A and B are shown apart, each in its own frame.
Chain A
Amino acid sequence: MAAKTVLNYLPRKSVVHALTGTTKLAFFLLFTFAGMLTYDTRVLLGLLVVSLLAFRVSRIKVSEVRFMLVFMLIFLLLNNFFVFVFNPNQGTEIYGTRHVLLPLPGRFAVTAEELFYLFNITLKYFVALPVAMLFISATDPSEFAASLNSIGVSYRVGYSVAIALRYIPDIQRDYHNISQAQQARGVELGRKEPLMKRLRNAVNILLPLILSSLARIDVISNAMELRGFGKKKKRTWYTKKPFGRNDYLALLLGVLLLAASIAITFADGNRFYNPFM
């Protein structure tokens, strides 16, 4: 409806959706690990291709996850900026050469090495981002809980996370309704207002939102207890899918990617690919 989606499950018929939650979780972990270990540009580019392909076959549209994407991009820009400010010579230290492109005063000269280093960091984000978004958007929250449970996380924790994910749309709807009623009473949240005032006005919406969310939690937790949630150490899952051929393939791919990433990255004893020497 009118409420915009921040990040939630987007049901669809796709190869990615059909995988079990456990596979998706394992692949997500393997893949993120592969991306985290390496600064090797060739490996990162390879992983990026896999990541984008996975996003493509999931049939989830970029517009559906735009909010998260924009949020991450802003975060990324800030991150790059601060990496540069804190140590503009990190690139030189890593790659051992110094090609000055823009001679700024002090130590802030922009070098090709630093830019290449920042490019690699950016690349790492872009490798991890689509897969992370996929994991959340293409995994049924209940299956998500089941998958956490299958790798040894307590099902109580798993289910709490699942319920939280599942209530995001409801809480968004509440937020929307509350903010409309507040706007009618002159609480402006529009872009015309100064930032401080907007923040103060947001508090007027937050209080009723928190109270009504707490009431929701109360109802759901009573309903869950009345139906025996938490009774036993283990539980079974109605939605749990059997492992299929694609699951094994996906896991195999995950393991291979990680192995390849480690092999290529550490072949020359250095985590960085160095085009400058």
Chain B
Amino acid sequence: MIEPVISFRHFSFQYRAQKRPTLHEINLDIMPGERVLIAGPSGSGKSTLGSCINGLIPFSFPGEIQGSLTVDGVDAPTAGIFALSAHVGTVLQDPDGQFIGLTVGEDIAFALENECVAQDEMKETVGRVASLVGIGSHLELAPHELSGGQKQRVSLAGVMVDQVKVLLFDEPLANLDPATGKQAIELIDEIQRRTDTTVVIIEHRLEDVLWRSVDRIVLMNEGRIVADMRPDELLSTDLLRRHGIREPLYLSALRYAGADIRPQMRPAQADTLVIGEDEKQMIGAWMRAAGPGREAEERPVLLEVSHIGFGYTPERKILNDVSFAIREGEMVSIVGQNGAGKSTLSKLICGFETPDEGSMRFAGEDMADWSIRERAAHIGYVMQNPNQMISKTMIFDEVTLGIRGRGYSEAEIRERVEETLKICGLYPFRNWPISALSFGQKKRVTIASVLVMGPKMIILDEPTAGQDYRHYTEIMEFLRGLNEQGVTVVMITHDMHLMLEYTPRALVFSGGAMIADKSAAEVLCDPELVCRAALKETSLFHLASRCGIEPPEALVQRFIDTDREVRAHGG
């Protein structure tokens, strides 16, 4: 009989600082060579489960363990992090943060150095593993010369030098652009096939992981395993929706059309999905039932960018001849791969950098002579990581910071801050310390702290990065609410769902140029554009072509509208 490589038995864990256990009664066997996806919303305990497997628990995060956990024949709770590292290789979610060496080669060698391997042998192993993950020709490069995907390859190579039995991926897609995320999943798939290791992926972005097949999905919620099934079976249930995990969009669309998802339809992957005549007809009927599209009225132009060019050095242009206009009350996303110039564009708009050529106008006025501070009164900028923006300990003080010294009286300041806190749903918390807030609430505080200056437009950098479906929805619905109150919202994002569901219009950047300015649905149904900008086609596009819907954007649009309605009615 084959022994499981990972075996949890009546396993519970409670962090030392917590009042209640984070994991309850876990019973789980993972067989050698299996690929298992552990899914669940934030706080479900899925990352804690991963930390138990690699030994971070209890050695770096102490706490109380009950029950047993065996990993590759080792008793994990007592073995120690070093003993386990010979059996389990962990790829953490942040490819930047875990880059230890100064070059690719050195980073891959790190585990070998700690094992006192001789230098010749080390170089040979590094060379071999590096070519296995396709990074063999880059051994001399420094981290900042690598793309996000390449860094992840380095991380993978770095744990594979140990000949581990288990590869553990902790949210491998969190920091990657869509196309790179797709490649990462392909790479994991290929490595698993070639080395026959056991692969455990912890991720809440289900549809993206299912780009390549997994054997099982373990669904977690509130510290317990709520489902442990084959993907086809799980996707035929309503468990995902009930536990705050987004199911693949093509399945949602089929359900909206009234179809029933059964395991026999092989719903786990868009290209293996069996769509019968019945389903095609249902989709057709659903499409015909669409109400008339709403024509948006032409609002006046708020921000006009014309022929902007910029580079830190004259030889290397980061942005080249970029022109677009954003109208009052719009909600727009800016997409494209890392290094395409998106962040630089926002820096130019906010005045952190000065463009080399071109001009910008705000509500008809030339912005050239506006200082950073003057711009901030019209255009608010919200950084990706709220912890990098928050500099006070109390919510009220943090929000007040931006309007101090702008000539308001104390009473006016108070009134404005309170009003902003109300808009942001933070008024009840106004006297709370910021440290007591969740990530999503902190995000609101940072948004409130720029809104207080009364900007007509806000620019947000990756507003939902790293958030699960529930928190994502919470943040985005809040932004939509602001937008409905008249604030123009511009978002820089890698999240294709966000772009599709919340922003009618997308600006697509690639290599410092703007290569498209059209509806989000159109962008994601244009394979050539998707490829150039390192985006990812929506699975709805495939569904549309397989059901013969022309143009495919129509189905995408219908989906977005239905989804909106369902959400508005609390469905």
Give chain A's interface residues, CB within 8 Å of chain B: 1-2, 9, 11, 140-142, 163, 166, 174, 177-178, 180-188, 203-205, 207-208, 211-212, 215-216, 219-220, 222-232, 234-240
Q: How far is the CA of A186 from the CA of B115 in the complex (A)?
A: 52
B80 (CB) vs chain A CBs: closest residue: A231
Q: How far is the CA of A231 from the CA of B105 in the complex (A)?
A: 21
Is A212 in contact with B388, judged by CB distance below 8 angstroms?
yes
B312 to chain A, nearest CB (A): 6
Chain B, 435-466, CB within 8 A of any chain A CB: 449-450, 453
Is A141 in contact with B102, judged by CB distance below 8 angstroms?
yes
Q: List 23 A-B contacts (CB under 8 A).
A: A2-B353, A174-B388, A182-B389, A184-B373, A184-B376, A185-B450, A186-B403, A186-B406, A208-B387, A208-B391, A215-B387, A225-B56, A226-B81, A226-B85, A226-B90, A228-B111, A228-B114, A230-B114, A231-B85, A236-B113, A238-B106, A238-B113, A238-B119
Is B102 in contact with A180, judged by CB distance below 8 angstroms?
no
B118: Cβ under 8 A from any A Cβ: yes
Please, which residues of chain A bring their CB within 8 A of the CB of B381?
Answer: 181, 184
Please, which residues of chain B bring their CB within 8 A of the CB of A240?
Answer: 119
Among A181, A205, A215, A225, contact of B383 (Cβ-Cβ < 8 Å)? A181
Given A177-B383, A236-B119, A186 and B390 contact (CB-CB distance below 8 Å)? no
A168 to chain B, nearest CB (A): 13
Is B373 in contact with A177, judged by CB distance below 8 angstroms?
no
B209 to chain A, nearest CB (A): 22
Given A222-B92, A230-B82, 6 other A-B residues pairs in contact with their CB atoms under 8 A: A184-B381, A207-B390, A220-B100, A228-B85, A232-B115, A238-B101
Give chain B's interface residues, CB within 8 Å of chain A: 54-56, 59-60, 81-82, 85-86, 90, 92, 94, 97-98, 100-103, 105-106, 109-119, 122-123, 126, 142, 158-159, 162, 312, 347, 350-353, 372-373, 375-376, 380-381, 383, 385, 387-392, 401-406, 449-450, 453
Among B86, B92, B389, contact of A223 (Cβ-Cβ < 8 Å)? B92
Among A220, A228, A238, contact of B105 (Cβ-Cβ < 8 Å)? A238
B168 (CB) vs chain A CBs: closest residue: A226
B158 (CB) vs chain A CBs: closest residue: A227
Among B101, B119, B391, B449, contact of A142 (Cβ-Cβ < 8 Å)? B101
The 4 A-B pairs with the shortest beta carbon distances in the complex, nearest first, are A219-B97, A223-B98, A238-B109, A228-B114
Is B101 in contact with A182, judged by CB distance below 8 angstroms?
no
A209 to chain B, nearest CB (A): 8
Please, which residues of chain B bring their CB within 8 A of the CB of A140?
Answer: 102
Given A140-B102, A181-B381, A222-B92, A236 and B122 contact (CB-CB distance below 8 Å)? yes
Is B85 in contact with A186, judged by CB distance below 8 angstroms?
no
Q: How far is the CA of A131 from the CA of B381 in the complex (A)?
A: 44
A234 to chain B, nearest CB (A): 6
Please, which residues of chain B bring their CB within 8 A of the CB of A226?
Answer: 54-56, 81, 85, 90, 92, 159
Is B388 in contact with A231, judged by CB distance below 8 angstroms?
no
Please, which residues of chain A bring their CB within 8 A of the CB of B449?
Answer: 185
Is A166 in contact with B102, judged by CB distance below 8 angstroms?
yes
Is A178 in contact with B376, judged by CB distance below 8 angstroms?
no
Is A186 in contact with B114, judged by CB distance below 8 angstroms?
no
B402 to chain A, nearest CB (A): 4
Is B375 in contact with A184, judged by CB distance below 8 angstroms?
yes
Given A185-B376, A222-B60, A234-B116, A178 and B402 contact (CB-CB distance below 8 Å)? no
A18 to chain B, nearest CB (A): 15
Please, which residues of chain A bring their CB within 8 A of the CB of B86?
Answer: 228
Among B116, B351, B453, contact of A236 (Cβ-Cβ < 8 Å)? B116
B450 (CB) vs chain A CBs: closest residue: A185
Is A227 in contact with B385, judged by CB distance below 8 angstroms?
no
Is B115 in contact with A238, judged by CB distance below 8 angstroms?
no
Is A178 in contact with B116, judged by CB distance below 8 angstroms?
no
Is A220 in contact with B98, judged by CB distance below 8 angstroms?
yes
Is B389 in contact with A178, judged by CB distance below 8 angstroms?
yes
Is B116 in contact with A235, judged by CB distance below 8 angstroms?
yes
Q: How far is the CA of A264 from the CA of B554 in the complex (A)?
A: 90
Among B81, B350, B392, contact of A184 (Cβ-Cβ < 8 Å)? B350
Is A177 in contact with B388, judged by CB distance below 8 angstroms?
yes
Q: How far is the CA of A123 from the CA of B556 in the complex (A)?
A: 75
Is B94 in contact with A219, judged by CB distance below 8 angstroms?
yes
Q: How far is the CA of A223 from the CA of B99 in the complex (A)?
A: 8
B457 to chain A, nearest CB (A): 13
B435 (CB) vs chain A CBs: closest residue: A211
Is B110 in contact with A227, judged by CB distance below 8 angstroms?
yes
